[in-house]
């Protein structure tokens, strides 16, 4: 095998395959390699439906078809990603196929097992969703990491199928089996968010390509008109379609004039760092509940803490929550110290304006049309206030403003203080203690969340999950008594 160093995600997949192979006997190991073919999926689904056909109206094979199809499709392309191991494709698919054959033999365990695989299948990305992303090395890494977790799950699942006595199968319930593999399903769900983030970025790139195609169409239309060719026999429906298309093209051009800054990248980066289950406490805080609902007298919620305490990760979780719940009225901005332009207050405002205007309908172009000509810095705050006035409720999220230079930070906070006077606005700001928003703004407009007073559940959860993971992969060996002593500490 080649000694070429693999990226982290691909190495994790290779390690998962190696661990799975080591968990089976030498005789079974020789049977594992199986070239992925779509007919394998059809055969396994058919076997699952027929073997347990006595359970009327329950076609268990159909349950697991999405899971099998997703893994099979991944297996057909994984050898392009991990070229150091020519067997990788056959081993990935062969491992899944081997587990399925064992599962088919367990009548008492089959229904519960297919239910888990059915749930995992919902998280598996479809090939048509990511096929155009395959040349992207970073996406390859994320995808390999996702399927590494699935192979790890199959290794543990196989151990349960083979090692537990028959009597245990008769006693075990669906809830206990589901609980036993809860860690894996949560980890698979978390890695699915990373895959979705890359797919969303790809969708935006495709949208840019569509805008370029629309611009080309517009130029052709101009040339067509200049030629004096008249199409009087065109139907009113065709004319309406053309009018809508031209408005959409004009809208895209104007949005691009606002800013070309990529404000999504850092958000996805922080969102991917979050540990499963952490940060949930913030949604139960009275400060946050009242702020979100608008019952609080303070429109600004300031979350502060020391460097490295998890402010940006928590803010990304809140961003994900609000953009999902209020997609048309939420905008965010994460300051990136690697980009000087990202710390300019004008870039911050333009990014917020672009997000809010992108959700307006094609027919509502009055504010967007102001960007037909260059917009001065002084006019930007007026434009943002006009947008906020017609967006109710309006949620604005900012992270790491404290890292801006003093003039940029002062100007940004000054504008946010003005916006805070709008009744239906909610502003979240996270930063270090040094930002000290409560002194720079009217006291009655700001409420605080001190991360140091609330972060302890997250630290405890991280330690417990990390401890369990290291014990599981045999990187740490401790007694049950010592494990219980560590957790309270």
Pinpoint the alpha helices (H) of 105-235. Answer: 107-123, 127-130, 137-163, 166-171, 174-180, 182-226
pLDDT at 478 over 60: yes
Q: What percent of the chain has pLDDT over 90?
A: 17
How many CA atoms, within 13 angstroms, populate the side-chain half-sphere of residue 366? Answer: 4
Least confident range from 72-81, 215-224, 450-459: namely: 215-224
Q: Who wins on pLDDT, 188 or 430?
A: 430
Whole-structure pTM value: 0.52
CB 91 within 8 A of CB 19: no
- What DSSP character marks residue 339? -
Work out the average pLDDT over 169-192. 65
Q: Who wins on pLDDT, 4 or 70?
A: 70
How confident is the prediction for the chain on average, in pLDDT?
79
pLDDT at 484: 67
The number of beta carbons lying within 10 Å of the beta carbon of residue 5 is 8
H or E segment and range at residue 31? helix 26-31
Q: Is 15 exposed, middle or buried (0-12, 13-18, 19+ CB in 10 A)?
A: middle
Work out the average pLDDT over 370-376. 88
The 10s digit of each residue's pLDDT in 385-429 is 999 999 989 999 999 888 888 888 889 999 998 999 999 999 999
The pLDDT-based confidence of 206 (bands split at 50, 70, 90) is low
pLDDT at 433 over 70: yes
Q: Who wins on pLDDT, 110 or 484?
A: 110
The pLDDT-based confidence of 486 (bands split at 50, 70, 90) is low
CB 161 within 8 A of CB 103: yes
The 10s digit of each residue's pLDDT in 299-347 is 999 999 888 888 999 999 999 999 999 999 999 999 887 777 888 899 9
pLDDT at 444 over 80: no
The pLDDT-based confidence of 189 (bands split at 50, 70, 90) is confident
User: Which has the closest alpha carbon to 149: 124, 173, 167, 169?
Assistant: 124
């Amino acid at each position: 095998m080649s000694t070429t160093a693999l990226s982290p995600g691909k190495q994790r997949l290779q390690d998962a395959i190696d661990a799975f192979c080591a968990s089976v006997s030498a005789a079974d190991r020789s049977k594992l390699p199986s070239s992925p073919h779509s007919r394998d999926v059809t055969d396994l689904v058919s076997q699952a439906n027929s073997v347990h056909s006595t359970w009327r109206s329950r076609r268990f094979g159909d349950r697991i078809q999405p899971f099998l199809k997703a893994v099979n499709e991944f297996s057909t392309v994984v050898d392009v990603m991990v070229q150091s191991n020519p067997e990788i494709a056959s081993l990935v698919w062969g491992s899944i196929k081997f587990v399925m054959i064992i599962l088919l033999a367990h009548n008492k365990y089959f229904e519960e097992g297919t239910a888990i695989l059915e749930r995992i299948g919902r998280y598996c990305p479809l090939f048509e969703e990511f096929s155009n992303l395959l040349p992207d090395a970073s996406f390859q890494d994320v995808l390999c990491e996702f399927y590494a977790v699935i192979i790890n799950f199959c290794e543990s699942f196989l151990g349960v199928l083979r090692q537990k006595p028959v009597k245990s199968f008769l006693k075990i319930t669906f809830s206990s089996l589901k609980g036993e593999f809860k860690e894996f399903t949560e980890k698979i769900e978390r890695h699915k968010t990373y895959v979705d983030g890359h797919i969303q970025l790809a969708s935006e790139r495709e949208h840019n390509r569509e805008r370029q195609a629309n611009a080309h169409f517009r130029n052709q239309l101009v040339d067509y008109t200049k030629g004096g060719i008249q199409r009087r026999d065109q139907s009113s429906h065709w004319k309406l379609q053309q009018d809508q298309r031209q408005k959409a093209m004009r809208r895209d051009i104007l949005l691009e004039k606002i800013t070309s800054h990529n404000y999504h990248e850092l958000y996805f980066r922080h969102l991917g760092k979050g540990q499963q289950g952490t940060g949930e406490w913030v949604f139960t805080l009275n400060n946050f509940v009242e702020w979100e609902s608008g019952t609080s007298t303070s429109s600004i919620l300031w979350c502060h803490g020391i460097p490295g305490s998890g402010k940006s990760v928590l803010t990304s979780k809140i961003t994900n929550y609000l953009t999902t719940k209020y997609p048309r009225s939420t905008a965010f901005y994460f300051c990136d110290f690697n980009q000087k332009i990202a710390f300019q207050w004008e870039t911050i405002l333009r990014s917020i304006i672009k997000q809010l205007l992108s959700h307006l309908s094609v027919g509502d172009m009055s504010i967007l049309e102001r960007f037909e000509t260059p917009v001065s810095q002084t006019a930007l705050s007026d434009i943002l206030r006009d947008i906020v006035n017609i967006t109710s409720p309006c949620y604005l999220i900012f992270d790491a403003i404290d890292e801006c230079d003093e003039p940029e930070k002062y100007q940004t906070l000054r504008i946010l203080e003005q916006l805070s006077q709008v009744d239906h606005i909610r502003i979240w700001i996270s930063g270090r203690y040094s930002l000290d928003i409560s002194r720079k703004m009217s006291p009655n407009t700001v409420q605080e969340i001190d991360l140091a007073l609330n972060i302890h559940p997250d630290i405890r959860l991280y330690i417990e999950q990390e401890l369990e993971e290291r014990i599981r992969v045999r990187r740490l060996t401790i007694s049950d008594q010592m494990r219980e002593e560590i957790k309270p500490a």
